[in-house]
Amino acid sequence: MKQRVVSGMRPSGRLHIGHYHGVLENWIRMQDSYDCFFFVADWHSLTTEYADTSGIAESTREMVLDWVAFGLDPAKSVVFRQSLVPHHSELNLILSMITPVSWLERNPTYKEMLDNIDQRDLSTFGFLGYPVLMAADIILYKATRVPVGHDQLPHLEITREIARRFNHLYGSVFPEPEALLTETPKLLGLDGRKMSKSYGNSIYLSDTAEETSKKVMAMMTDPARVRRADPGDPDVCVAFNLHRIYVPQDKLDEIIPACRNASIGCVECKRILAGCMNERLAPCRAKREELAVNPAFVDDLLRDGSQRASMISDSVMTEVRTALKF
């Protein structure tokens, strides 16, 4: 029996290459060795976007196009949308009854977000309960493994505590899911800060080759390399963090000494990078364009996946209601 994996992403729109190398690539790799459930966490988006929900549908569509074009395969994995499987909400309600508020209040992610509060008012019941909904997402499918980044570990710990408490109160229904830590170093954006949509420093999976080249050519390099004749250091060069991913090793072995003795200029060096990136991304970008032609593609896919997810969640909810003597 394969281990069951459940993971979700909030609909954030078009994905950048940092999302891809950080999360999506890992999901895609897991598809053959695990029984995978991947979903759009649109109800989770409501916890912070409740005042303006106008972007959620379009962000869902763009994100799922990226998922599938770059290799998530609905024939291998159950790919669905949280809000199309109402059992998430029913289980959330039941789990909310047994979750002490103190567990939620001491959650470091919660405290951090409240402190960094922007214009939005996050002092809501739903935002405090974010980890309860996440626990419901995971144990609703009796997942045994959850691929998450470091930032989500506290949430997963709460999930395990909630599952344990449920089993203790009502009898053993849920396995305690384990984190599959995916520690990929954060990609740097064009300006040397972490690649992030809100910084406007990202290269998107769906950018054209021209857009990609333009961005790469504008990318920061070694700040100490002011003139063409100055020797550089790839270890402190912002662009070079992408070279390591996209440029083949034999080419890197040429570039590194050439940078250090100033026999290659940054313009030429970044042109090589842009070429390698575009070559690698081209087939998936072409596939994305094909998929996007059909306006119903994402809706159909998510409806079908959500039906498949519901078959599992339905039987688990039957067990839950039985355990509760309802």
Cross-strand bridge partners of residue 145 = 5, 178
Residue 78 interacts, among ligand SF4, ligand TRP, none and using kind-specific CB cut-offs from 5 to 8 Å, with none
Site string for ligand TRP, 116-145 (x = CB under 6 A): ------------------x--xx-------
**Smallest gap from residue 222 Cβ to ligand SF4 (A):** 4
DSSP 96-120: HHHS-HHHHHT-HHHHHHHHT--SS
> Using CB distances below 5 to 8 A depending on partner kind, what does residue 64 bind out of ligand TRP, ligand SF4, none?
none
Alpha carbon distance 140, 309 (integer Å): 10
Tell me the closest approach of the beta carbon of residue 6 to ligand TRP, in angstroms.
6
Nearest to 166 by CA among 275, 301, 319: 319
Instruction: Pick one of ligand TRP, ligand SF4, none as the site partner of residue 239 (Cβ within 5 to 8 A by kind).
Output: ligand SF4
Integer angstrom CA distances of residue 212 from 122, 157, 216, 274: 36, 39, 6, 7
Helix (H, G, I), strand (E, B) or coil at 178: strand
Sole binder of ligand TRP in the list 5, 7, 36, 247 (CB under 6 A): 7
With binding defined as CB under 6 A, does residue 152 bind ligand TRP? yes
The beta-strand segments (E) located in the chain are 4-9, 35-40, 78-81, 145-148, 178-181
Q: Is 37 within 8 Å of 309 (Cβ atoms)?
A: yes
| Window contacting ligand TRP (CB under 6 A); options: 4-12, 66-74, 188-196, 246-254 | 4-12
Q: How far apart are CA 53 and CA 49, in angstroms?
A: 6
259 binds, among ligand TRP, ligand SF4, none (CB under 5 to 8 A by kind): ligand SF4
259 in Cβ contact with 273 (< 8 Å): no
Determine which residue in the list 4, 16, 19, 44 makes contact with ligand TRP, applying CB under 6 A: 44
> What residues line the site for ligand SF4 (CB under 6 A)?
221-222, 225, 232, 234, 237, 239-240, 259, 264, 266, 269-270
Query: Distance between CA atoms of 301 and 297, rounded to whole angstroms?
Result: 6
Minimum CB distance to ligand TRP smaller for 148 or for 190: 148
Residue nearest to ligand TRP (CB): 8
Q: Applying CB under 6 A, which of residues 28, 41, 163, 242 lies at the interface with ligand TRP? A: 41
Residue 81 binds ligand TRP (CB under 6 A): no
The 8-class DSSP code of residue 320 comes to H
The span from the CA of 40 to the CA of 23, in Å, is 14
146 binding partner (options ligand SF4, ligand TRP, none; Cβ < 5 to 8 Å by kind):
ligand TRP
Binding stretches for ligand TRP (CB under 6 A) = 6-8, 10, 41, 44, 134, 137-138, 146, 148, 152, 155
